[in-house]
Homo-oligomer: A and B are copies of this chain.
Amino acid sequence: MNDEPKSAPPAPWVLILAGGRGTRFWPASRRLRPKHVLPLLGAEGETLLQATVDRAGEITSADRVFIITAEEQQSVVVGACEGLAEANIILEPEPRNTAPAIALGLAHLQLRGAGPDDPVIVMPSDAWVADDVVFSQVMSRAVDAAFESEAVVTLGVRPDRPETGYGYLGLGEGVEVSVHGSGHGREVREVTEFREKPSRELAQQYLDSGAWWWNAGIFVFRLGYMAQLMGEVNADLDVGRPLQEAVQGGAMEDLAEQYRCLPDISVDHGVMEQAPSVLTVEANFGWSDLGSWHALAPALEAGPGGCARADLVVAEDAEANIVYAPGKTVALLGVQDLVVVATDDAVLVVPRSRAQDVRVIVEQLADAGEDGLL
């Protein structure tokens, strides 16, 4: 890191990763109706993808916001978000891990004019953010830090419970970063360790120590730094000429051939954990990865019997339930802490405490060959 403050960073580019299928939101989520295009949010039923695109639009200009998604999801993604040109939707030729997806994204950005010093923000399409203003401030701080550093800058969330389903960032020293944007006074810390899904005991220790934050899965880097890092970490993770030529050529077959050569590794384990330097900025904007129906509560409207997105909920002696049944009436009588989901063809009932096990149901359906329900 330089001692001299740099000039203000260029406007960042944003890559929104929208490749997931979100099986834990079955029966609402399906192969061609993934979690990020469900009308989950608020009274109007905004999609997580739309909310993410809108947040990105507050950070940079719309022409610098890109979505990376599976080819089969193109039409649902186009339908689920407004204000984004179709040219900014990047299609994966086939489903791969996050490292190749980001390599593909970087190739696109370079062809659209992104330079090696341009900051790039990568974020998932399906997380929940409570305060968009604070989000912008935090991102500004992270962009400043990434622009000044030879480092990947992640966003970290101070834990408020011993969550065992998240990844954790072990915190090191504080780092001085010049302030160019709106992120005044936000601490930037070194990340010394990564830990995925700790045991309950370990998660409690992390919480008590104050030395571990949740990994929000949002990170920023200078394009040139990440391109170099990827090449160092894995020689096959080449965002250089062959991939760019295939992207530029526009033939999906050629791109698929190149894409298939990239290693099937995640950007977390395969790249970031190998990086010489990772920093983190506290993401105190109210965050959830919405990893299950249970986690959806803060994103829904409170009402009779719990919180819900439905035409009408009628409740009697019922509380703390989570209902998702757009277009339907749901009656809750004498039930607590349940998740109730209804679509036109399927219904799910599960205690909130078991909501993370919904994948077991999806596996049963897959084993039974019930493709129409997947």
Is the Cβ of A349 less than 8 Å from the Cβ of B335? Answer: yes
Is the Cβ of A331 less than 8 Å from the Cβ of B347? Answer: yes
- Which chain A residues numbered 319 to 364 have a C-beta less than 8 Å away from chain B? 325, 327-335, 338, 340, 342, 344-351, 353-354, 357-358, 360-361, 364
Interchain CA distance A285-B15 in the complex, whole Å: 69
Q: Does A131 make an interface contact (CB < 8 A)?
A: no
Q: Report if A347-B329 is in contact (Cβ < 8 Å); known contacts: A312-B370, A314-B364, A361-B314.
A: yes
Contacts of A312 in B (CB 8 A): 370, 373
Q: A349 contacts which of B26, B317, B338, B358 (Cβ < 8 Å)? A: B338
Contacts of A26 in B (CB 8 A): 331
Q: Does A245 make an interface contact (CB < 8 A)?
A: no
Q: Does A27 make an interface contact (CB < 8 A)?
A: yes
Q: Does A365 make an interface contact (CB < 8 A)?
A: yes
Interchain CA distance A340-B348 in the complex, whole Å: 9
> A293-321: contact bitstring with B at CB < 8 Å (1 yes, 0 no)?
00000000000000000001010110000
Contacts of A317 in B (CB 8 A): 354
Interchain CA distance A143-B46 in the complex, whole Å: 66
Among residues of B, the one whose C-beta sits closest to the C-beta of A351 is: B334
Contacts of A368 in B (CB 8 A): 314
> A245-256: contact bitstring with B at CB < 8 Å (1 yes, 0 no)?
000000000000
Interchain CA distance A370-B328 in the complex, whole Å: 13
- Which chain A residues numbered 113 to 152 have a C-beta less than 8 Å away from chain B? none
Contacts of A353 in B (CB 8 A): 334
Q: A316 contacts which of B329, B340, B364 (Cβ < 8 Å)? A: B364
Q: A328 contacts which of B335, B347, B365 (Cβ < 8 Å)? A: B347
The 10 listed contacts between A and B (C-beta, < 8 Å) are A27-B331, A312-B370, A314-B361, A314-B364, A314-B365, A316-B360, A328-B346, A331-B348, A340-B347, A349-B349
4 additional contacts (CB under 8 A) given A316-B357, A333-B361: A316-B364, A328-B345, A334-B353, A342-B342
